[in-house]
Amino acid sequence: MADEKNRRIQVDLSGQTAIVTGASRGIGKAIAMRLAASGAKVACVARSADKLTETADAIAAAGGTAEVHPCDVTDSAAVTKLVEDLAEKWGGIDIVVNNAGITKDTLIPRMEDEMWDAVIATNLRSVFLFTRAASLVMMRKRSGRIINISSVSGLMGNPGQSNYSASKAGVIGLTRTVAQELAGRKVTVNAVCPGFIASEMTDALGPAILDEVKKRIPAKRLGEAEEVADAVLYLASNSAAYITGEVITIDGGLTP
């Protein structure tokens, strides 16, 4: 990927394999492309194949290697089978990035059971399922990187997002606990907490709200998906072998 040569982080992931959930758009797509640009073979995972194919095609066009794997990330049997099949096919799994996430926002008095359950299932249960399945593979190999995408909402809360904030706070707790469990097997587990990142989700807020959001951010701008991908790339690298249980916030100074 020629345009990646000018990026400030250079990591060689040649021969390594990675799973990225929620790889169909936004941050997940940027992460999948960044890992592939660094030489990893990437399994792009999401519920629908259509957008995943666009990600895989973009990776292939830039000279990388990617596969499309539609999967219900909340389905225990489906996740276990996918991870086991990929581990057998590839001879192991080196990197897992748990990025799949949804929002169903409303104030708590109006939040329906389905809205709560759906967000917790996609944003938290999926992280548990992929982490559990991948940990078995990585422990046998005595190496691996698990990187969970949380959110500043999991650190500071956000009105109208009690389900989302709870799920992302849960990801942080899960990350810190599993990091302690797997450190002895040389498997690192870390979390990345993006703030307001330019995406379809932030575009939907409209110019007026975005202007107010930027005023709250000390950096006075939205982050870019590629900036989150760079942090993930570092955590996936050998340079981060002694970093585990950490929560890296990428928010332009929004959180204290």
Distance of CA 142 to the CA centre of its chain: 22
Catalytic: which of 119, 122, 148, 164? 164
Q: What does pTM read for this prediction? A: 0.94
Place 117 in a pLDDT band, splitting at 50, 70 and 90. Answer: very high
End-to-end distance of the chain based on CA atoms, in angstroms?
A: 36
Q: What are the residue ranges spanned by the domains of the chain?
A: 11-246
| pLDDT tens-place string over residues 35-89 | 999 999 999 999 989 899 999 999 999 999 999 999 999 999 999 999 999 999 9
- Tell me the CATH architecture of domain 11-246: 3-Layer(aba) Sandwich (3.40)
Q: Is 242 part of the annotated catalytic residue set?
A: no
For all residues of the chain together, what is the average pLDDT?
94
Q: Cα–Cα distance between 16 and 134 in angstroms, integer?
A: 14
Mean pLDDT of the 197-221 span? 87
- Average the pLDDT over each of 66-75, 91-100, 194-203, 209-218 and give the range with the smallest value: 194-203
Structure tokens at 103: 């929002």
Specify the pLDDT at position 8.
67
